[in-house]
Structure 1
């Protein structure tokens, strides 16, 4: 079997990469933010007070949205612009998730890229939350099991 680079294959075939999953898109954005963790980024001004149609058009130069849109892989995968509506659609962010990660009322006019990355991780990741809940359930069982055995035994 002969192996060729993707660029070589594109010259002889219509090669389409598989679309990224939501988790892969979010992880890529977080990774991009963490490449320059001290980069000062502009947050989005009080997005919760804007009507939905106006909120969708919000953008800021040098914002976390800019970081995502500057990435050729995310753009090729379907990120249409650095406007809030396009970013929310592409990354499947709820209003609450976008507000928590990107709004100026929680972070001030600027934030470090690492802060935004952590906020995105907190807003969209269930892994840490599920792990914490699982740990508490196990702890509760461990503490209550001797009492249950005593009562039932």
Structure 2
């Protein structure tokens, strides 16, 4: 790779500074996650196994290959916004999920070892719309 000063690059390219962008809100992050999941609505994803029975430290470190969280972490936009990994604790921090919300979206006890991406997206959207959330929080 050859180093060139910025002044030289201006001669061969139209360089424009990038305007600082406002960080995504919680709602926008959850909506983006749902949209990413809906790109492959029939994709079978892995649920996190029995979240509620794990000690807190173990629970926060939980992850699964091919889970709704790994789909979120594979998205360049969500990673650029600050999603640190596909671990439950990082996702809870990033999406500002309560333990109850995370449990209802991701836990195997809510429907088995797998979940369709479209269902995971619907559950993520329920966090945004509290009227829908009552369908799960019982």
TM bucket (normalised to shorter chain) is 0.7 to 0.9
Greater RCO structure (CA 8 Å; 6+ sep): 2
Determine if the alignment matches structure 1 residue 16 to structure 2 residue 20: yes
- The structure in which a higher percent of residues are helix is 1
**TM norm structure 2:** 0.81
Residue of structure 2 equivalent to 1:56: 60
Cα deviation, residue 107, structure 1: 1.6
Q: How does 1:89-100 map to 2 (within 5 A)?
A: 89-100=93-104
SS at match of 1:53: helix
* Structure 1 unaligned spans of 5+: 1-6, 130-153
Q: Which runs of 4 or more aligned residues in structure 1 lie more than 6 Å from their structure 2 counterparts after TM superposition?
A: none
State the 1:95 CA deviation. Answer: 0.4
Aligned length: 121
Residue in 1 aligned with 2:76?
72
SS at match of 1:121: helix
Measured at CA, do residues 72 and 50 of structure 1 come closer, stay the same or move farther in structure 2, by a change above 3 Å?
same
Per the TM alignment, residue 8 of structure 1 is displaced from its structure 2 partner at its CA by 3.5
Unaligned runs of 5+ in 2: 1-13, 134-138
The equivalent of 1:148 in structure 2 is: none
Offset, 1:58:
0.2
Please say which structure displays the higher CA radius of gyration.
1
Deviation at 1:63, TM superposition (A): 0.2
Q: Normalization by structure 1: what TM-score?
A: 0.73
Aligned: 1:121 with 2:120: no
What is the SS of the residue equivalent to 1:99? helix
How far did residue 16 of structure 1 move? 3.4
